Amino acid sequence: AQSVAQPEDQVNVAEGNPLTVKCTYSVSGNPYLFWYVQYPNRGLQFLLKYITGDNLVKGSYGFEAEFNKSQTSFHLKKPSALVSDSALYFCAVRDIRGFQKLVFGTGTRLLVSP
Amino acid sequence: NAGVTQTPKFQVLKTGQSMTLQCAQDMNHEYMSWYRQDPGMGLRLIHYSVGAGITDQGEVPNGYNVSRSTTEDFPLRLLSAAPSQTSVYFCASSYSGAGGRATNEKLFFGSGTQLSVL
């Protein structure tokens, strides 16, 4: 079965420093990978997706993600963190049955301190 | 732009009561789905629909019913609420593309319904 793992419950980073939120995946076939962000009391918002092509995917709000097939990873990155980036981040993979059914990770809380 | 609208935002039920969580989208999306979010478990798919009149089960369908009579609406029914159904529920929709088989379109989420079952 398709799955993703987010090994860190929380990531702490100082404003202005680079940030990385980790995600590893396990899939049958080609992976379709996504990152979503959830701000307090809000629904999830799409950040970026990897389907095929360049291993570095650029998304919303200055975020990018690096796809690494040999390490089965899809880490979310940003060169310079903002306090407003503090939120809950979810990695997701498309279910093998297709369509837009996604299997989500458990989420990583990002806390950016001033 | 309303997007995906969920009502109510909060609900408290007693064990055994029934209720319907409403979800409506105004983007003419073919695909709609319901997820529940529980601490430490991420989001889990309950039911989904690829178009009016078509529904299917997700990962955790027991205790929930859905129907899709229109493209816009996708209500989730709790038949007999149980404390295990205490959760935050999210409705999401997406464009399905030509032929209804697009697989890489992003999901648009509603703001959620926080449900407590006592």
Preferred mutation among A100, A102, A106 to probe B, highest tally of B CBs within 10 A: A100
**3-state secondary structure (DSSP) of residue A33:** strand
Determine contact: B46 vs chain A, CB below 8 A: no
Task: Give residue-wise pLDDT tens across range A29-79.
Answer: 888 899 999 998 888 999 999 987 889 999 999 999 999 999 999 999 999
Nearest to B46 by CA among B63, B71, B70, B21: B63
A100 → closest Cβ in B41, B44, B107: B107
Determine contact: A35 vs chain B, CB below 8 A: no
Q: Which residues of B26-47 are buried (b: 16+ CB within 10 A; e: fewer)?
A: eeebbbbbbbbbeeeebbbbbb
Q: Kindly list the structural domains of chain A, giving each domain's residue range(s) and its CATH number in brackets, ordered by start.
A: 3-113 (2.60.40.10)
Backbone phi and psi for residue A63, each to the nearest 5 degrees, phi listed first:
-80, 155
CA distance A6 to A76: 11
CA distance A68 to A98: 22
CA distance A52 to A21: 21
CA distance B114 to B23: 14
Task: Give residue-wise pLDDT tens across range B37-60.
Answer: 998 888 999 999 988 999 999 989
Determine contact: A11 vs chain B, CB below 8 A: no
Task: Give residue-wise pLDDT tens across range B56-108.
Answer: 999 899 999 999 999 999 999 999 999 999 999 999 998 876 555 555 578 99
